Amino acid sequence: MRDFSVLGCLSQAPGLTAESRLTCDSRQIRPGDVFAAARGQCQDGRKYIDSAAAAGAAAVIYENDDGFAWHNANVPSLGVAHLSARLPELADGFYGRPSSRLGIIGITGTNGKSSTAFYIAQLLSGAGIPCGIVGTVGNGFPDHLEPSPNTTPGPVEIQQELLRQEGMGARWVAMEVSSHGIAQGRINGLRFRGTVFTNVSRDHLDFHKTFEAYFDVKKGFVLGQREHPCVLNAADPLIRSRVIPEVAPENRVTVGPEGDYAVSDIRPSGSGTSFRLASGGASRVLTVPLIGAFNVYNALQAFAAVRHCTGTELDPGALETLRPLKGRMEIFRTGNSPLCLVDYAHTPDGLEKALTAARAHTEGKLISVVGCGGDRDRGKRPMMAEIASSLSDHVYFTDDNPRTEDPEQIIQDMLRGRITCGNEVIHDRAAAIRKAVDSAGPQDTVLVAGKGHEEYQIVGTEKRHYSDQETLRGILGL
């Protein structure tokens, strides 16, 4: 479904067809597409107009508030003031406003977005209601996710993806909403039917500069949608004190020790984690096949979102059917091996929660493999190392995605934290994981933190194939 009327005088361009796409990437142009040449934060798309025209663009719209002009007798074009800011609205109209037909649930927070989105989609799909996902781990349906380069895609890509999922039969979409996506206006023009705020802690200060600015971006998104149900983690101190009071009681749904969905007595079990849920005057003990108290909260937030945002009545027993998301406390184990876990924890709060959860399932030693990404917030590096040291019996410090930074400098930044347990620096990530597993016994646990679902390692500007899961399977013979 395309609506060319949003292109104004270009709507009658002879090359436009029902298959025409709108794109900001000249490398993606196919004959009949419309090229939007906007000034982005890193690239000026107007440099690539000629390439787009040569590739068969049926029309070009370009940013012109600085006096820029482009003309080609064979390709209709139109200058648009402030095109970058208007792209979300333009893309929404061009693709026929799919979010007006789909039910979109937006999930924001520092940690837990991916898992919560995955659980929402599982619960709805289990109830016979097709639900897609847009997020870090991929886009699509729970059993078939296609890789996504960003947690929250660009404003044009979001509309393309929503239209694609609608065409595949989705009725609802669980969408991760990142702080970058909010601040850069990627979600402008979307119509949400509800939100989830999982938690908030330090992250992305390289972009937002201060924690307060980071928090305000996430809070602003949730409060901007407060006429719809807002599922809020009442166990998070900042959400409890600074968000919950600003949401009207009729739209406020809380998960926490004293929330609308009251959780207590969280305990590790042989098959996952058990807990008591009290809600609507009833109380029962449930066991989810997930590791960690934080995953209990993610699952309950997903359950509350399904009930209140979509109006679907679910029995709490549906929570016991959930399966974990790839790279989120993902289990790898053979008969005599240690319990090996892969988790995406890459923030101080996320690492603390992952290690605390791993400790609860550990009879012997807890060994961690931890690194920090390059070209990112340097202030969290000593914090990450200190948390790893305080909660582990031994830590292997290793490379994450060093990007254009010196890996040795990243490790030295980490080691400025207070290190109180045995530790070793092994830059080769696969070698560090092997050493950790080889040093562990059957009663021990090895937590490999930081990369989770990622199947690459960025060294310099090169993205190399690498997977923690593949590494562990090779070591364990799985």
Total-model pTM = 0.86
Q: With contact defined as beta carbons under 8 Å apart, do 78 and 169 qualify?
A: no
- Furthest C-alpha separation in the chain: 74
Q: Please return the burial class of 226, using the count of CB atoms within 10 Å of its CB with bins 0-12, 13-18 and 19+.
A: middle
User: Residue 451 corresponds to which tokens in the numbers above?
Assistant: 């990369």
User: What domains, with CATH codes, occur in the chain?
Assistant: 4-94 (3.40.1390.10), 98-321 (3.40.1190.10), 330-476 (3.90.190.20)
pLDDT score of 202: 63
Q: What are phi and psi of 277, to 5 degrees?
A: -115, 125
Percent of the chain topping pLDDT 90: 88
pLDDT digits (tens, 9 = 90+) for 369-388: 999 999 999 999 999 999 99
pLDDT digits (tens, 9 = 90+) for 9-28: 999 999 999 999 999 999 99
pLDDT digits (tens, 9 = 90+) for 53-68: 999 999 999 999 999 9
Q: Does pLDDT of 205 surpass 90?
A: no
Q: With contact defined as beta carbons under 8 Å apart, do 397 and 358 qualify?
A: no
One-letter amino acid for residue 291 of the chain: I
Q: Does pLDDT of 151 surpass 80?
A: no
Q: What is the DSSP pairing of strand 230-233 with strand 192-197? A: parallel
User: Residue 178 corresponds to which tokens in the numbers above?
Assistant: 């990142």
User: Residue 217 corresponds to which tokens in the numbers above?
Assistant: 């971006």
Banded pLDDT at 201 (limits 50, 70, 90): confident
Cα-to-chain-centroid distance, residue 431? 28
Give 44's DSSP letter. B
Strand partners, 418: none
pLDDT score of 208: 65
The H or E element spanning position 297 is helix 293-310
Q: Does pLDDT of 321 surpass 80?
A: yes
Q: With contact defined as beta carbons under 8 Å apart, do 52 and 60 qualify?
A: yes
Q: Does pLDDT of 209 surpass 80?
A: no
Where do runs of H (alpha helix) occur along 102-154?
A: 113-126
Over range 339-350, report the average pLDDT: 93
C-alpha neighbours within 13 Å on the C-beta side of residue 281 = 0
Average pLDDT of the residues of the chain? 94
Q: With contact defined as beta carbons under 8 Å apart, do 235 and 257 qualify?
A: yes
Q: Does pLDDT of 41 surpass 80?
A: no
Q: What is the DSSP pairing of strand 131-134 with strand 172-176? A: parallel
Banded pLDDT at 105 (limits 50, 70, 90): very high
